[in-house]
Chains A and B, each alone.
Chain A
Amino acid sequence: MATSMRGLTQFIADIRGARVKELEEKRINKEMANIRKKFKDGNLDGYQRKKYVAKIIFTYILGYKVDIGHMEAVNLIASPKYSEKQIGYLAVTLLMHENSDFLRLVVNSIRKDLDSNNEIDNCLALHAIANVGGSEMAEALVEDVHKLLISATSQSFVKKKAALTLLRLYRKHPEVIPAAEWALRLVSIMDDQDLGVVVCVTSLVMALAQDHLDAYAVCYTKAVDRLQRLVIEHEYSATYTYYKVPSPWLQVKLLRLLQYYPPTEDQTIRTILHQVLQTIMNNCAEPTRNVQHNNAQHAVLFEAIGLAIHLDTGSPLVSNAAVLLARFISSKETNVRYLGLDTLAHLAARADSLEPIKRHQNTIILSLRDKDISVRRRALDLLYSMCDIDNSELIVGELLRYLRVADYALREEMVLKIAILTEKYASSYKWYVDTILQLISTAGEHVGDEVWYRVVQIVTNTEDLQHYAAKVAFEHLKTPSTHESLVKVGGYILGEYGHLIANDPGYSPLEQFQLLHSKSQFCVAATRALLLSTYVKWVNVFPEIKPQLLNIFDRYRHVLDAELQQRACEYYTLASRPDEDDFLQNICEEMPPFPPRVSALLGSLNKKQGDTGDKRTWIHGGKEANLDRDATKRKTLNMNLTNDDNTSAPPSSTDDIISSLAGLNMTSTPTPSPANPLVSSSGDGSLHLSVAPNIDRWYEKLTYSGDGVLYEDVQIQIGLKSRYQGHIGQVAIYMGNKVDASLSSFTATVKVDDTEALSASFSKIPPNVIGPRSQSQQILQVECKKMFSTPPILTVSFLTGSHQTTSIRLPVVLTKFFEHVKLEAADFFERWKLIGNEREAQSIFPVNLTSSGQLDLNKYRAVISGHRLNVLDGIDPNPNNLVAAGVLHMSVEGKVGCLLRLEPNREAKLCRLTVRSTSGDVAKEVQKLIQKPIVAA
Chain B
Amino acid sequence: MISAFFIFNQKGEVLISRLYRTDFKRSIADVFRIQVVSNSDVRSPIITLGSTSFFHVRINNLYVVAVTKTNANAALVFEFCYRFISICKAYFGKVDEEAVKNNFVVIYELIDEINDFGYPQNSEIDTLKTYITTESIVSTNIAAEESSKITTQATGAISWRRADVRYKKNEAFVDVIENVNLSMSAKGNVLRADVDGHIQMRAYLTGTPECKFGLNDKLVIDKNDKGQSDAVELDDCRFHQCVSLAEFDADRTISFVPPDGEFELMRYRSTSNVKLPLRVIPSVTEVGTTQVQYTVIVKANFNNKLSATDVVIRIPTPLNTTTTECKAPTGKAKYVPAENVIIWKIARLQGGAECSIRATADLTRTTTRQVWARPPIDVDFQVLMFTASGLIVRFLKVFEKSNYQSVKWVRYLTKASGNYQIRF
* Chain A residues close to B by CB (< 8 Å): 19-21, 26-27, 29-30, 32-34, 36-37, 39-40, 67-68, 70, 102
Contact = CB atoms under 8 A, between A and B. Distances in A.
B338 A37 contact: no
Contact of A40 (B61, B322, B368): B322
Nearest to A101: B367
A26 B319 CA distance: 13
B322 A33 contact: yes
A40 B10 CA distance: 37
Contacts of A67: 319-320, 366-368, 370
A705 B368 CA distance: 77
Interface string B227-248: 0000000000000000000000
A70 B367 contact: yes
Contacts of B322: 33, 36-37, 40
A30 B367 CA distance: 19
Interface string B348-367: 00000000000000101111
B159 to A, nearest CB: 39
A30 B319 CA distance: 11
A431 B12 CA distance: 59
A19 B13 CA distance: 13
Given A68-B366, A102-B367, 19 more contacts: A19-B10, A21-B10, A29-B338, A33-B322, A33-B337, A33-B338, A33-B340, A34-B337, A36-B322, A36-B364, A37-B322, A37-B323, A39-B364, A40-B323, A40-B364, A67-B368, A67-B370, A68-B364, A70-B367
8 contacts: A20-B10, A21-B10, A26-B338, A37-B323, A40-B323, A68-B365, A68-B367, A70-B367
B320 A68 contact: yes
A36 B340 contact: no
Interface in B355-404: 362, 364-368, 370
Contacts of B61: 20
| Most B C-beta atoms less than 10 A away, residue of A20, A33, A34 | A33
Please give me the 9 A-B residue pairs with the lowest Cβ-Cβ distance, nearest first: A33-B337, A26-B338, A30-B338, A67-B366, A40-B322, A37-B322, A40-B364, A70-B367, A67-B367
Contacts of B321: 33, 36
Nearest to A39: B364
B367 to A, nearest CB: 5
Nearest to B290: A40
Interface in B302-336: 319-323
B116 interface: no
A160 to B, nearest CB: 33
A40 B323 CA distance: 9
A27 B339 CA distance: 9
| Most B C-beta atoms less than 10 A away, residue of A19, A27, A36 | A36
Nearest to A25: B338
Contacts of A36: 320-322, 364
B338 A27 contact: yes
A32 B368 CA distance: 16
Contacts of B340: 29, 33
A39 B367 CA distance: 13
Nearest to A69: B367
Contact of B339 (A21, A26, A39): A26
B364 A29 contact: no
Contacts of A32: 337
Nearest to A22: B61
B33 to A, nearest CB: 15
A19 B365 CA distance: 32
A29 B339 contact: yes
Contacts of A30: 337-338
Contacts of B338: 26-27, 29-30, 33
Contacts of A27: 338
A20 B323 CA distance: 27
Contacts of B362: 40
A63 to B, nearest CB: 10
B82 to A, nearest CB: 22
A68 B319 CA distance: 11
Contacts of A70: 367
A33 B342 CA distance: 13
B423 to A, nearest CB: 22
Contacts of A37: 322-323
A773 B321 CA distance: 72
Contact of A29 (B337, B366, B368): B337
A19 B96 CA distance: 12
A168 B88 CA distance: 59
Nearest to B366: A67
Nearest to A102: B367
Contacts of B364: 36, 39-40, 68
| Most A C-beta atoms less than 10 A away, residue of B338, B366, B370 | B338
Nearest to B368: A67
A32 B317 CA distance: 13
Nearest to A34: B337
Nearest to A32: B337
Interface in B13-57: none
B290 to A, nearest CB: 10
Nearest to A19: B10
Nearest to B60: A20
Contacts of B370: 67
A21 B12 CA distance: 13
Contacts of B367: 67-68, 70, 102
A27 B320 CA distance: 16
A39 B362 CA distance: 13
A19 B98 CA distance: 12
A39 B319 CA distance: 15
Contacts of A21: 10
Contacts of A34: 337
A195 to B, nearest CB: 43
A106 to B, nearest CB: 13
Contacts of B368: 67
| Most A C-beta atoms less than 10 A away, residue of B319, B322, B323 | B322
A121 B72 CA distance: 65
A891 to B, nearest CB: 74
Contacts of B337: 29-30, 32-34
B43 to A, nearest CB: 15
A34 B321 CA distance: 10
Contacts of B323: 37, 40
A4 to B, nearest CB: 26
A21 B58 CA distance: 14
A127 B249 CA distance: 77
B321 to A, nearest CB: 7
A30 B320 CA distance: 11
A50 B339 CA distance: 25
Nearest to B337: A33
Contacts of B339: 26, 29
A39 to B, nearest CB: 6
A22 B366 CA distance: 24
Contacts of B366: 67-68
B371 to A, nearest CB: 13
A208 B348 CA distance: 77
A378 to B, nearest CB: 31
A363 B368 CA distance: 62
Nearest to A29: B338
Contacts of A29: 337-340
A36 B323 CA distance: 9
Contacts of B365: 68
B161 to A, nearest CB: 40
A368 to B, nearest CB: 30
A29 B370 CA distance: 17
A572 to B, nearest CB: 47
B337 to A, nearest CB: 3
A235 B368 CA distance: 56
